[in-house]
Amino acid sequence: MRLALIASLLLAAAPCLANPPAAIPEAGDRRAEQAFERFAAGWMEKVRALEERHRESPTVKRGTERPLVTYRGYGDDYEVELRPTGRPRSPYVGLLRYTEYLYSCRDVEASSCSVASTVPVTEIFRYQDGRWSY
């Protein structure tokens, strides 16, 4: 009797044990996701360094009353998303979303600036040969 009960419980549980639940990522997915999170953080550090260079050398154009001084900047907030491709050679693409700001400044030193416009940016990277690339 006890053996029959155990057998019927195992049979009932078999479909649940056959595949991992959809909410739990596979080990490869999780490794790729963690690698992309690190890659994206490094990418954003480079983007912020680029902002500093832009601020130090803003674009200056002739305006009607005074020069138009602008530079591009980037917010601190960003989002990442991992998508499987179904291709063994490049099994994932990673999407990195952030906002690019166009700053307008009152002086050529870019000391008094405000946001003139914003643009949502989505960068797409591929995971190939165990690393992320642009």
Does residue 7 have a pLDDT over 90? no
Does residue 17 have a pLDDT over 80? no
Domains of the chain: 27-133 (3.10.450)
The amino acid present at 79, given as its one-letter code, is: E
24-41 confidence digits (pLDDT tens): 446 668 888 999 999 999
Q: What is the predicted pLDDT for the residue at 2?
A: 47
Which pTM does this prediction carry?
0.73
Residue 125 C-beta-side C-alpha neighbours within 13 Å: 24
79-114 confidence digits (pLDDT tens): 999 999 999 999 999 999 999 999 999 888 888 899
Query: Residues 82, 62: contact at Cβ < 8 Å?
Result: no
45-81 confidence digits (pLDDT tens): 999 999 999 999 999 998 888 889 999 999 889 999 9
Q: What is the predicted pLDDT for the residue at 14?
A: 44
Q: What is the predicted pLDDT for the residue at 80?
A: 97
pLDDT mean over 5-13: 44
With CA atoms as reference, report the closest residue to 99 among 125, 77, 71.
77
With CA atoms as reference, report the closest residue to 74 among 39, 106, 49, 107.
49
Query: Residues 100, 107: contact at Cβ < 8 Å?
Result: no
The DSSP call for residue 23 is T
9 or 108: whose pLDDT is higher? 108
Strand locations in 31-91 (E): 59-61, 68-84
Q: What is the predicted pLDDT for the residue at 26?
A: 64
